[in-house]
């Protein structure tokens, strides 16, 4: 049976990932159609795409817009990178439900 990451470790990783996306960045603002529409929705935003296409950069830009232009509290921002090797395999039901 595979061992999954402990809840406390997962919490540490979520905090670390969120803090990394909140750091000041030197990214150039991009002209992305409908970006403001994405920000206005009250839904979870998932950005997917091939490797190195700018997903993380786009997320950083959106997060900084939410905080500085939309005045969303930092406490309401959560970022998680599922490709972090420290996570290990996690079945989807183990992320959201406890047994």
Predicted confidence (pLDDT) per residue in 45-96, tens digit: 778 889 888 888 888 888 888 888 889 899 998 888 877 888 776 665 555 5
Flag whether 71 is in a domain.
Answer: yes
Flag whether 79 is in a domain.
Answer: yes
Domain count for the chain, please give it: 1
Query: Measured between alpha carbons, how far apart are the two ends of the chain, in Å?
Result: 16
Other beta carbons less than 10 A from residue 94's beta carbon: 14
Predicted confidence (pLDDT) per residue in 13-24, tens digit: 989 999 988 887
- Give the residue numbers spanning the domain of 46: 7-88
pTM confidence score: 0.68
Flag whether 96 is in a domain.
Answer: no
Flag whether 63 is in a domain.
Answer: yes
Flag whether 62 is in a domain.
Answer: yes
Flag whether 1 is in a domain.
Answer: no
């Amino acid at each position: 049976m595979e061992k999954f990451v402990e809840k406390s470790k997962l919490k540490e990783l979520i905090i670390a990932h969120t803090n990394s996306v909140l750091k000041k960045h030197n990214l150039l603002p991009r002209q992305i159609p409908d970006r403001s529409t994405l920000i206005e929705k009250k839904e979870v935003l998932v950005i997917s795409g091939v490797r190195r296409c700018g997903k993380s950069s786009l997320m950083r830009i959106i997060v900084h817009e939410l905080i500085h232009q939309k005045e969303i509290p930092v406490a309401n921002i959560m970022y998680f990178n599922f490709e972090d090797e420290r996570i290990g395999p996690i079945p989807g039901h183990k992320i959201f439900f406890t047994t």
